[in-house]
Amino acid sequence: MLQNMRNASRHWLGKIILTVVFTFLIAGVAIFGVEEFFRAGSTSTVATVGKAQISAEAVRTAYQNQLQRYQSQTRRTLTPDQARALGIDRQVLAQLVSEASLDQQTATLGLSIPDAAVLRAIREEKSFQGADGKFDPALFYQTLQRAGITEATFVREQRAVAARLQLAEAVAADLHVPEALREAVHRYTTERRAVALMMLPPSVAGEIPAPTEDEVKAYYGENTFAFRAPETRNVALLILDPQAMAKPDAVSAEDIAKRYATDKARYGSPERRTIQQIVFPDATAADAARKAVEAGEKPFEAVAAETGADPKNLSLGTLTKAELFDPAVADAAFALPLNAVSEPVKGRFGTVLLRVTAIEPETVKPLADVLSDIAKAIALERATSGIDAAHDAIEDQRANTKPLADIAKERDLPLRIIPAVSAQGLDPAGNTVEGIPDRDTTLTALFRAEMGGDNEPLRTKSGGYIWYDIANIDRAHDKPLAEVRDEVVARWRAAEAQRRLLAKAKELNARLDKGEAVEAVAAEAGLNVQTLSDLARNQAQGDLSAEIVNRVFATAVDKSASAESGEGRALFKVTAATMPAYVPGTPADEAITKRFQPTIADDVLGQYIGDVQTSVGVTINQQAFRRAIGGGEY
């Protein structure tokens, strides 16, 4: 694990990810299980960790960020109850408490990273170096821009991660993986088996006659759960959606013209410039180089070569002014005439000379080409701004017990009536019910509500609302035999075929286990014999699925067994089991060590962090915590 940490810490993105990994590693032992929570502290303080306080605002911000990340990854909106059920709130609190306790511990131990060290690490980072192997400020800022990270945040994260890595190194460096564990893993992963295999097709079961009425009833009674209808609900959805409410045709030509005049730059492309840059150690050297270029003594590329830069890689790219992260560089570059050399510019990571080699002028589409887009944008803005007022008006009508159907008709809003839908969004025939906005969130709310209940409207991803009423609930129930008779008969036939195949397989297993030759048993049964070797755990081969292969490894050598395989059955005898000898210190043994060191290190670090939190003391104000995340009682 520590080697992995070292490798990760050599790359800036790895460092950021490592912060998340490290804090989530400790979340399992942090807070919950370390010591009891106390309802103490001020209302603005959610947690006190030693001398550090975690504010409600910090918790709220971290919670919203984590919630947004989760929703972005899963592409679904979470209700507060769903987020709480997933433990996102406690996960965030655990992370913040763990970070605070670790920061105190690193401070107590004197583990700190000075600014000079952080800056040196940034300059030495390969990801920020150009083809010449030197630090490239433009690449640095472009990378941060793409990642959405500010310079201050990035530096702060690097300092914190570096300190935590030092602490992790001290706690869990060079942990030993016991030889007994390595040998057991070696045996498990390298063992290979060979089998003699016979496949029993469905035809071996013979003709399956139609079941008698008693057999049908008996099978239905024993397997009623397989013929159970899920709960379905008859629901009405009143949908208030900005897109549906927007009326582009109602936007006047005057309003469109005003918007075009105000935001003309939005309807085209901003000016772009191809910019070259040379980095100098100081302003004096840069100014001397500029004068030499302007006097015609040296070309711009020759000056770059003298600094050690590759003349072929001077370009920052063709960029808009907004794409240049350093304001000083951006202002200077976009003030230059074509092919002119700038005065020395003091950037954040050194003094530079700039030259603009190409200019793509700003372009703007004519009003006629964007009329429709502007009308739609204005209409959507107006609809969105009126959403809350419409919401309040509908809520007033709901408070006066006005039915959704009447509200929808009066306000010309869509009302979706769904006669029957299951919690999985299916109708009774098993087909997907279409037209349910924010499907996962809405279905969860529908099946949490009760008939006649006063349900809070759901906020949609588009910024609208959904009101819903439950008109009827058809509880989960067993389908009557008359309704599912054909399905019952089909399942009975399949079960009877498998029963006969199993009986035949047991008969053949018994003969094989008594020592009869596989070929003789197969010939008498009219079956073909396959020989499969080099079978490995969890890996399918030939007619054998991974599950059946694992069954092979659960069977003793020279013994036989069978397993269901599709509509047929696989009958096998294990003929051999081999594995290479275990030799400590080989590359394979070292690979096992590297594989299990992270698990052992995680355990050690987890115990250490638990002890740290017990030592510094952790108190939680549950009431302030609930208020911070906007939750109710737990």
CATH of the domain at 72: 1.10.4030
Pick 581 or 146 by higher pLDDT. Answer: 581
CATH of the domain at 415: 3.10.50
Same domain (yes/no): 510, 568: yes
Instruction: Tell me, yes or no, whether 317 lies in a domain.
Output: yes
Same domain (yes/no): 436, 559: no
Same domain (yes/no): 339, 406: no
Last residue of a domain, one of 475, 505, 536: 475
Residue type at 624? A
Same domain (yes/no): 529, 424: no
Pick 459 or 574 by higher pLDDT. Answer: 574
Predicted local distance difference test score (pLDDT) of residue 581: 93
Any idea which of 18-22, 51-55, 277-281 has the lowest mean pLDDT?
A: 18-22
Same domain (yes/no): 406, 554: no
Instruction: Tell me, yes or no, whether 283 lies in a domain.
Output: yes
Predicted local distance difference test score (pLDDT) of residue 38: 34
The highest-confidence range among 55-64, 106-115, 396-405, by mean pLDDT, is: 396-405
Instruction: Tell me, yes or no, whether 186 lies in a domain.
Output: no
Pick 311 or 497 by higher pLDDT. Answer: 497
Instruction: Tell me, yes or no, whether 211 lies in a domain.
Output: yes
Same domain (yes/no): 468, 453: yes
CATH of the domain at 284: 3.10.50.40
Residue 145 above 60 pLDDT? yes
Same domain (yes/no): 210, 224: yes
Instruction: Tell me, yes or no, whether 372 lies in a domain.
Output: no
Residue 51 above 70 pLDDT? yes
Instruction: Tell me, yes or no, whether 438 lies in a domain.
Output: yes
* E-strand stretches of 449-581: 458-459, 465-474, 477-478, 530-535, 560-565, 568-578
Same domain (yes/no): 154, 41: yes
Any idea which of 152-156, 255-259, 272-276, 540-544 has the lowest mean pLDDT?
A: 152-156
Instruction: Tell me, yes or no, whether 266 lies in a domain.
Output: no
Domain count, the chain: 4
Same domain (yes/no): 159, 13: yes
Same domain (yes/no): 221, 277: no
The highest-confidence range among 210-224, 307-321, 612-626, by mean pLDDT, is: 210-224
Strand order in the sheet with 52-55: 52-55, 45-49, 618-620
Averaged pLDDT score across all residues of the chain: 84
Reported as type and span, the H/E element at residue 353 is: strand 350-360
Instruction: Tell me, yes or no, whether 47 lies in a domain.
Output: yes
Residue 521 above 90 pLDDT? yes
Residue 469 above 90 pLDDT? yes
Same domain (yes/no): 57, 95: yes
414-453 pLDDT, tens digit per residue, is 899 999 999 999 999 889 999 898 888 899 889 988 888 8
Rounded Cα–Cα distance for residues 257 and 261 (Å): 6
The owner of tokens 């590297």 is 594
Residue range of the domain that includes 131: 2-175+596-629
Residue 194 above 50 pLDDT? yes
Provide the pLDDT confidence category of residue 19 given band limits of 50, 70 and 90. very low
CB burial class (10 A; 0-12, 13-18, 19+) of residue 476? exposed
34-43 pLDDT, tens digit per residue, is 333 333 334 5
Last residue of a domain, one of 448, 475, 502: 475
470-496 pLDDT, tens digit per residue, is 999 999 999 999 999 999 999 999 999
Same domain (yes/no): 144, 63: yes
Pick 7 or 73 by higher pLDDT. Answer: 73
Last residue of a domain, one of 331, 361, 391: 361
Provide the pLDDT confidence category of residue 631 given band limits of 50, 70 and 90. low
